[in-house]
Structure formats: structure tokens, C-alpha cells
């Protein structure tokens, strides 16, 4: 049998696909911390960072896509010693393997970040960061607690903005260290003290700083304590790019002290506007009620007018009927029909012949006059 080489040949793409598959199946290549020196660092128009990571013996290509590079806390440059959290895979188009970097830190912080990520994953697995645990922030608080450094710009900013927005609120300050070795214990002590007070909201925070300055807010004991807070907690630690474990466990997170004040209170101007709106709604409702009452009164008035008119008409008709009946009973009317009335000399109407005697004088009244009579004889019916 004469087999041609083409029968067994594979394409370049198939080779690269196969190699990439092997890389993707190797667990040791998925989560790496690689330490080295940056060289040939470039940022593409799409925001992706391309560079090499090298040591004294070797070099490996690396890429950090823009969704990851936006989170960088520093600007990398050639010659920087860094630790990259990355995976290794194959770029099939060129048949080269490279690092796909998810996070980058300057040397010296690598181990701390590793431990922090491990702690974060542990606490997250326990449910301390679950959204279902988050409580709403009361926008109409009576008492707010603030944990921050005494006389700091952050504390002043929080107090000033709370009072500006809602002057009626009562503020309790629990001073604490916010950086340094003693800061975690100091923050924990301030937090425990805050739990004694009947607060509606608790703010814990500080101004911005380098990542290492925020380490106190990554303390496990502090984070666990905050997860048990009796009142909702607002974390205001650092700036927008900085996230600490306190941020994740808090009920709400803001990036600045001003943001904490705004999150914790409603602006008095909004309250005034709400009152104005409520007043307008009440006036409109009152106007509608008055209009409805007037319409009801008008309707009742029309009904009463109709009833009275109808009653008057009915009564007049009855009067007319009574008048007609009375008129028919008028003796004059009877006389007009051919009847007459006989009266004695003293004016009594004669109703029976028994009331008369011979020689009595009487008068007979007709419709057009009367006749004077003298009774000659009284004859009774048998």
C-alpha cells in the first residue's frame, strides 16, 4: 500500500489548537503568581497592555486586557519589578504562549495580596459579602455614628456635609486610628463602642491613600465584627479605585467621605420640596373636596327646589279641588239648579214641615230673589 504523506499531515491551526487545549487542561497554569521585571511595555489604542516579563535567564510575553488594566493602582513602566496574577495560554494566531494577567502589584506587596485574596474568598464563601445581607440605609435618620480619625479631613468632611444636608440629625463620633499596626485594634474598639448606642446608621471611613495605608480595613476580626452590626454600615474607605474587605461587608459603599454623608442623609432641600409637594397635593385635594361638596349642595338645592315646587303644585291642585268642591256646595249654586230655601221669620232654615204651623210667616229664597209667605196649612207626608 502506497500512503501519501498528506494522509497523516495536520494543519498548523490543529497543532496550535491542540497545544492550547493541553494548556487549558493543566491546573498548574490557570492560577499563577509570576515575579519579574517589565520590559517593552506598551498600551494599545484599545486599552490593552502588552509587555514582557523577564528575569536574568528568561523572558515571557504578557498581555493585560483593558478590563483588568483599568484597575491598576499604579502606572507600570519598563524596569518595574512586579508580581502578576495570571494564567498561561496559547495565542493560536502566532503559535506562542503568553501570560494573561488579571492583576499586577509592585514587588513587596505580592504576598500580602495573595493572603488578602485568600481571606476574601474565605469570607465570601461564608456569605459575609452576600447582597441578601445588605440592609437599606435610612434616609431620615435621627442619630448617625462616625468612625474615623479624630481631626482628620475625612471626619470634617463627613460632619460638615451631614449638618449641611440634615441639620436635625444627632452625630456620634468614635475616634480611631485608620492606618498603622495599631489601627485594626483601634477600629475594632471604636466599632464595639458604637454598638452600645441606638444609631440609625454607622459610617466607617477615611480619606484616600496608598493601598498599603488601607490595610487596617482588611483585618479579618474587624470585617467579621462589622458583619454583626446592629445598624446598617456605610463604608467610605479610600477612593473609587480602592476596595477593602470592609467595603464588601458593609451594607453600602461610597468612594469619598462626602459620598458617605450623602448616602446617610436626605438633603433638607429635598424635604422642603417634598413638603411643598405635599402641601400642594393637600390644597388640590381640599379644592376637589370643596368642589365636590358645592356640587353636592347644588344638586341637593336643585332637588329641594324641585321637591318644593312639586309640593306647591300638588297643594295648589288640592286647594283648587277643594275650592271646586266647596263651590259646588255653595247654596247659591244649588239655587241656580232650580232649588229654593225656606226660612222662618227669625231666619232659621226650614228643614221639615213639622217646624211650621198655620199662619207662620216664611220667606222663600230663589236664585234671583225671595218671596214672603204665610202658611195656610201644614200637610205631612203619610
pLDDT at 110: 43
**Distance between CA atoms of 205 and 307, rounded to whole angstroms?**
77
Boundary residue ending a domain (266, 290, 308): 266
Regarding whether 193 and 159 lie in a shared domain, the answer is: yes
In-domain check, residue 382: no
The secondary structure of residue 179, as a DSSP letter, is S
Residue 209 has a pLDDT of 67
Q: What is the pLDDT of residue 241?
A: 55
pLDDT for the residue 109: 45
Q: What are phi and psi of 74, to 5 degrees?
A: -150, 170
In a domain, 124, yes or no: no
Residue 261 lies in a domain: yes
The reported pLDDT for the residue numbered 183 is 93
Cα gap 358→369, rounded to integer Å: 24
Residue 242 is predicted with a pLDDT of 58
Output the pLDDT for position 39.
Answer: 81
pLDDT digits (tens, 9 = 90+) for 238-288: 665 557 899 999 999 998 899 999 999 988 777 666 677 777 788 888 888
Q: Please indicate, yes or no, whether residues 357 and 235 belong to a single structural domain of this protein.
A: no
- What CATH number did the domain enclosing 42 receive? 2.40.50.140
Name the 3-class secondary structure at 288.
helix
Beta strands across the sheet bearing 341-344: 341-344, 361-366, 369-374
Domain ranges, residue 205: 129-266
- pLDDT < 50 positions in the chain: 109-111
Please tell me what DSSP assigns to residue 232.
Answer: -
- 161 with 280, same domain: the answer is no
Q: Across the chain, where does the E strand assignment appear?
A: 32-43, 49-54, 59-64, 81-91, 96-106, 143-148, 170-175, 201-206, 233-237, 252-253, 341-344, 361-366, 369-374
CB atoms within 10 A of CB 61: 15
Are residues 104 and 135 part of one domain? no
Q: Is residue 77 part of a domain?
A: yes
Cα 142–chain centre separation: 20
Q: Same structural domain for residues 71 and 136?
A: no
End-to-end CA distance of the chain: 169
On whether both 256 and 311 belong to a single domain, the answer is no
pLDDT for the residue 29? 87
- Give the Cα separation of 116 and 103 in Å (integer): 13
Amino acid at each position: 500500500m502506497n500512503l501519501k504523506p498528506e494522509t497523516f499531515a495536520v494543519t498548523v491551526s490543529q497543532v496550535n489548537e491542540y497545544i492550547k487545549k493541553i494548556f487549558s487542561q493543566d491546573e498548574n497554569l490557570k492560577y499563577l503568581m509570576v515575579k519579574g521585571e517589565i520590559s517593552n511595555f506598551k498600551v494599545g489604542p484599545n486599552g490593552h497592555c502588552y509587555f514582557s516579563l523577564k528575569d536574568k535567564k528568561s523572558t515571557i510575553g504578557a498581555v493585560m486586557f483593558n478590563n483588568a488594566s483599568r484597575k491598576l493602582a499604579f502606572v507600570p513602566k519598563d524596569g518595574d519589578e512586579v508580581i502578576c496574577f495570571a494564567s498561561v495560554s496559547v495565542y493560536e494566531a502566532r503559535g506562542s504562549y503568553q501570560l494573561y494577567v488579571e492583576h499586577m502589584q509592585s514587588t513587596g506587596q505580592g504576598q500580602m495580596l495573595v493572603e488578602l485574596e485568600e481571606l476574601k474568598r474565605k469570607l465570601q464563601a461564608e456569605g459575609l459579602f452576600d447582597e441578601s445581607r445588605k440592609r437599606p440605609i435610612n434616609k431620615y435618620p435621627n442619630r448617625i455614628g462616625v468612625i474615623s480619625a479624630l481631626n482628620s479631613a475625612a471626619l470634617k468632611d463627613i460632619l460638615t456635609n451631614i449638618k449641611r444636608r440634615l441639620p436635625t440629625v444627632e452625630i456620634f463620633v468614635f475616634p480611631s486610628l485608620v492606618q498603622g499596626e495599631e489601627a485594626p485594634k483601634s477600629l475594632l474598639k471604636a466599632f464595639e463602642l458604637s454598638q452600645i448606642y441606638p444609631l440609625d446608621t454607622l459610617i466607617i471611613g477615611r480619606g484616600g491613600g496608598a493601598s498599603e495605608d488601607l490595610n487596617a480595613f482588611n483585618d479579618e476580626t474587624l470585617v467579621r465584627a462589622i458583619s454583626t452590626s446592629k445598624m446598617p454600615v456605610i463604608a467610605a474607605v479610600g477612593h473609587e479605585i480602592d476596595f477593602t474587605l470592609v467595603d464588601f461587608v458593609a451594607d453600602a459603599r461610597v468612594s469619598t467621605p462626602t459620598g458617605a454623608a450623602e448616602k446617610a442623609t436626605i438633603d433638607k432641600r429635598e424635604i422642603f420640596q417634598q413638603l411643598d409637594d405635599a402641601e400642594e397635593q393637600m390644597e388640590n385635594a381640599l379644592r376637589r373636596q370643596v368642589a365636590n361638596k358645592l356640587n353636592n349642595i347644588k344638586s341637593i338645592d336643585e332637588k329641594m327646589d324641585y321637591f318644593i315646587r312639586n309640593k306647591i303644585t300638588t297643594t295648589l291642585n288640592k286647594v283648587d279641588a277643594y275650592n271646586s268642591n266647596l263651590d259646588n256646595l255653595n247654596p247659591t249654586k244649588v239655587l241656580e239648579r232650580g232649588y229654593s230655601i225656606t226660612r222662618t221669620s227669625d231666619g232659621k232654615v226650614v228643614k221639615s214641615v213639622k217646624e211650621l204651623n198655620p199662619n207662620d210667616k216664611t220667606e222663600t229664597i230663589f236664585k234671583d230673589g225671595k218671596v214672603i209667605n204665610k202658611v195656610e196649612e201644614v200637610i205631612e207626608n203619610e
